[in-house]
Structure 1
Amino acid sequence: MQEPATGDTSTALPSSGPAQASLDAGSYYARRCITEDSNWSLVTVPHLTELCLQHIVHNFEKNPILNHLLPEHQRKVLDRLPTGLPLAVTANLVSDEEYWKRCCIERWQVCDVSNYGDSWKRMFFERHLENILKCFTPNTTDPNQVLQLIPLCKSYVRKLEMDQFLPPVQVYQKEERDDLSDTGNDADFGEVFVQHYDLKDLITALPHLEELHLVYGVKDCGMNFEWYLFNFTNQDCCNLAAAVKMCHSLKVFKLTQSNVDDEKTKLLARNLLDHPSLVELNLSHNLIGDKGAQALGKLISHSRLETLNLCNNQICDLGAQALAHALAEKSTLISLNLRLNCIEDKGGEAIGHALLTNRTLKSIHLGSNNLSEPTTMLFSQVLARNTILSSINFSCNHLGLNGGKQLLEGLAKNKTLTELDLRHTEVDLEADYLIDQIVWANREAVRLRHRLAKLL
């Protein structure tokens, strides 16, 4: 058998057995490893640390060992955690703001974190709890949906805003009538009202709750409109009053557009007397009359209230006189809003008399109260003597030409009033212009003092 030439390996065939060992020393054989993936490289093999982190992320719900990791590894795990993990796992374990930011953005289209103290975690838990409460239907929804969430969110919830509060689903029979009126109420049909969800257990379990905004009504009910959907019952009022009384951390309480009448106002006022922290009360757009205003006058004298909003109610001169008496006697009130009531000149004069001695009120809104010249005559004295009041709104009243001149005379030596709204008050244009010049000068002087104070 003829041997291949020395150094020529292109046609050489490998031998097997003992013949392989007897090859000539000059013969050269090449050997290479051929892989299935031509792009395979040792560089692409994940590090063991990376594989471990992937495993932790995939099994986080069963084994959340976040606190046992190094800081740089915690960061990698948090960046990969899915936002759909149960809150029972993440609520008290994950404090990273970037994670909660992803949770918020993926769930809601509009996310303004500045309304939540710049905390994404607070935003998530407040809005999540609000969504549950807005959709809660008594006798239908399982109460455990709320109760089970309390231990998870109680450390982060400081404000609750509910622009709807659903009543129970009512099953009733309407009496047969030949003529049905669209303005009738459900009581005409023998409906038995059942109260809304009792907030007592929830509110008292939130130690940091500072603001509560409620509307007892339904949004977007469409063709399913019924009057009972907007009924704030006496039992609802009793439950709410007891809950607010026990919430000692509450600073702001708003109950608007809920058909709160005099009796319910008196009940709320009794429970808010001597509240340790409440500073703002908003009962606007309700049905409060003179008796309710009298109860609120007593509340002003026995509380730490600084802001009271009674806009768009049914308060007349007797109610205004009761509020004025409280302002003159003992009050910490800084802002009072009586817009869209009907206190008329008797009520306006009573408030004017109170402001001659009051030393706390800085802002008062008396717009749309059917006021005229007698009120401005007294407020002319207020402007000349009161050095605390900085804002007055008389818009949409009938002050007339003489009313404007009286206010101008009172402002001659006033240095503290920085806002005076006289829109739609029938005031003379020249008087309006001169008043505006005085108020503008006062405002600029205040700004200058603030700038100098900062420099010093």
Structure 2
Amino acid sequence: MTSANRRRIIAEDPTWSLEQVPFLSKLCLQAIMKNIEGKPLYKELSRSEQNFIQEKLTLHVPLKVTAKLIPDGVYWQRRSKELWDNCDVSYHGQSWKRLFFERFLEKLIEAFLPGETELKTILEMLPLCKDYVKRLNIEELLLPIRPQEEDEATSIHEEETKPTLDRFNFNFLLEKLINLQELYLVYRIKRCGMNYKKEMFQMTQGDCKTLAQAVASCKTLKVLHLHQSNVGDAQCRLLVKHLLNHPSLTELDFSYNYIEDRGARAIGKLLSRSKLRTLTLYCNKIQEHGARAIAHALSRTSTLEELNLGVNRVGDEGGQAIAKALLTNSSLKTLNLSANDVAERTAVSLADVLVHNRTLRSINLFHGQLGVNGGNALRKAMSKNSTVIKFVLDLTDMEEDDIGFIQDVVWANEERALSQKQ
């Protein structure tokens, strides 16, 4: 048959062509996605078919369907990026599914308004996310709303006697998060504008009690950070009381609070009974007696590797006590006593440690008043030390020659450590 006699079929749709006819397998996958709520067949598909669904499944399928059905992968990456611009998966164990559920739960908690938000919004989410949430970073916690008329009419006496305004209750939450390992909290309101009130930036005693009970119930918790929440001695002691027998806590950070000596003594007791590896009390109000309590515990503990007491008020007596404790401690690797008014006696005691200690790797005495004699003692000690690889001595009133000599030793120690690793 000649080409002139061939029959031609002209489609009603001029854009139609054979190339646009989808494969039957694709049509089946599209049908599976369309009916995924009624017939969740994802796990019965091949790897390539599952990948297709990960890339094409609509992001509006209810979480009650996808949470258990769709494993970690592109689908959860797409769903995360739809909600948040900045998605750093490295903070979530390189898992997009974990990132999604951790951040989703964080936002629910941060938006929770006591007395207004229904608790079921979070309770319904817990069965879906509990297997994936290992880390929570809560950057604000809202206060209950008081009627404006009542607020304006409150007298000074009523202000002192009115009921405290407690925030989100973690007590019912943490015990259900069976894999939670890290908890970062700040009791504050981030965007208060001109409506600033002191109570917006502190935890109440009720908040402290429920948090203490919640942390005690979370047996998997390893890291607890409680920052910028006006935590004082009473609250610190209550929290520590519930942490004394915690089975897994290894890192505690109470930075930027108002902990003084009574709170520090409680923390010293915790050091003696726990398995803490990192203790950070940066920027509090701990003085000599609190430092002595921590030093006493430090001389007995065999697990603590990092102690940060920077920007407190331990003074030379407190600094000396900490240094002397290291004569019997063989676990501490990092010590920060910066901006603490430590002076010559601290330097001399620390020099005695550096001659014999082979555990310390990093020391920070920034802004200490060590003077010429303290600097000379440290120089002699460091001439016999081969393990310290970081030593901060800025603004310490030491002779420049002594600082230069110590830094040369530190650099040599660091190079030796790197070569041994290679």
- The answer to whether TM tops 0.5 is yes
TM bin, normalised by shorter chain, reads: over 0.9
Q: Hey, what does 1:192 align to over in structure 2?
A: 163
Q: Please tell me the root mean square deviation across aligned C-alpha atoms, in Å.
A: 2.1
Q: Hey, what does 1:94 align to over in structure 2?
A: 70
Give the count of matched residue pairs. 416
Q: Is the 8 A contact 1:313 1:340 kept in 2?
A: yes
Q: Is 1:161 the counterpart of 2:132 in the alignment?
A: no
Q: Is 1:254 the counterpart of 2:225 in the alignment?
A: yes
How far apart in 2 are the matches of 1:30 and 1:91?
A: 56
How far apart in 2 are the matches of 1:331 and 1:322?
A: 16
Q: Hey, what does 1:72 align to over in structure 2?
A: 48
Q: Is 1:285 the counterpart of 2:256 in the alignment?
A: yes
Q: Hey, what does 1:371 align to over in structure 2?
A: 342
How has the CA–CA distance of structure 1 residues 34 and 254 changed in structure 2, closer, same or farther, with 3 Å as cutoff?
closer
Which of 311, 317, 324 does residue 340 from structure 1 map onto? 311
Q: Per-residue deviation at 1:218?
A: 0.7
Q: Is the 8 A contact 1:163 1:214 kept in 2?
A: yes
How far apart in 2 are the matches of 1:413 and 1:61?
A: 70
Q: Per-residue deviation at 1:295?
A: 0.4
How far apart in 2 are the matches of 1:78 and 1:135?
A: 30
Q: Is the 8 A contact 2:216 2:243 kept in 1?
A: yes
Q: Is 1:413 the counterpart of 2:413 in the alignment?
A: no
How far apart in 1 are the matches of 2:63 and 2:184?
A: 25
How far apart in 2 are the matches of 1:380 and 1:286?
A: 31
Moved more, 191-200 or 256-265: 191-200
How has the CA–CA distance of structure 1 residues 40 and 257 changed in structure 2, closer, same or farther, with 3 Å as cutoff?
closer
Q: Hey, what does 1:116 align to over in structure 2?
A: 92
How far apart in 1 are the matches of 2:6 and 2:122?
A: 74
Q: Is the 8 A contact 1:154 1:208 kept in 2?
A: yes
Q: Hey, what does 2:360 align to over in structure 1?
A: 389
How far apart in 1 are the matches of 2:56 and 2:363?
A: 55
Q: Is the 8 A contact 1:274 1:304 kept in 2?
A: no
CA displacement, residues 55-96 of structure 1 (integer Å, 9 cap, x when unaligned)? 222333343322233443333233210112211110010004
- For normalisation by structure 2, the TM-score amounts to 0.93
Q: Is the 8 A contact 1:300 1:331 kept in 2?
A: no
Q: Is the 8 A contact 2:202 2:231 kept in 1?
A: no
Q: Is the 8 A contact 1:165 1:217 kept in 2?
A: yes
Query: In structure 2, what residue type is equivalent to 1:216?
Result: Y
How far apart in 1 are the matches of 2:349 and 2:137?
A: 40
- For normalisation by structure 1, the TM-score amounts to 0.87
Q: Is 1:325 the counterpart of 2:279 in the alignment?
A: no
Flag the structure with larger Rg: 1
How has the CA–CA distance of structure 1 residues 379 and 80 changed in structure 2, closer, same or farther, with 3 Å as cutoff?
same
Q: Is the 8 A contact 1:174 1:190 kept in 2?
A: no
Which of 139, 151, 167 does residue 115 from structure 2 map onto? 139
Q: Hey, what does 2:272 align to over in structure 1?
A: 301
Q: Is the 8 A contact 2:312 2:340 kept in 1?
A: yes
Q: Is the 8 A contact 2:72 2:95 kept in 1?
A: no
CA displacement, residues 36-70 of structure 1 (integer Å, 9 cap, x when unaligned)? 33554455433433323222223333433222334
Q: Hey, what does 1:226 align to over in structure 2?
A: 197
CA displacement, residues 300-327 of structure 1 (integer Å, 9 cap, x when unaligned)? 0000001000000000000000000111
Query: In structure 2, what residue type is equivalent to 1:164?
Result: E
Question: Secondary structure of 1:92's match?
Answer: helix
Q: Is 1:426 the counterpart of 2:404 in the alignment?
A: no
Question: Secondary structure of 2:68's match?
Answer: coil
How far apart in 2 are the matches of 1:59 and 1:374?
A: 75
How has the CA–CA distance of structure 1 residues 414 and 56 changed in structure 2, closer, same or farther, with 3 Å as cutoff?
same
List gaps (5 residues or longer) in structure 2.
Answer: none
Q: Hey, what does 2:59 align to over in structure 1?
A: 83
How has the CA–CA distance of structure 1 residues 121 and 186 changed in structure 2, closer, same or farther, with 3 Å as cutoff?
farther
Query: In structure 2, what residue type is equivalent to 1:427?
Result: M
How has the CA–CA distance of structure 1 residues 165 and 371 changed in structure 2, closer, same or farther, with 3 Å as cutoff?
same
Q: Hey, what does 1:103 align to over in structure 2?
A: 79
Question: Secondary structure of 2:292's match?
Answer: helix
Q: Is 1:36 the counterpart of 2:7 in the alignment?
A: no
List gaps (5 residues or longer) in structure 1.
Answer: 1-28, 178-184, 452-456
Q: Hey, what does 2:28 align to over in structure 1?
A: 52
How has the CA–CA distance of structure 1 residues 424 and 68 changed in structure 2, closer, same or farther, with 3 Å as cutoff?
same
Q: Is the 8 A contact 1:174 1:189 kept in 2?
A: no
Moved more, 70-79 or 272-281: 70-79
How far apart in 2 are the matches of 1:32 and 1:214?
A: 73
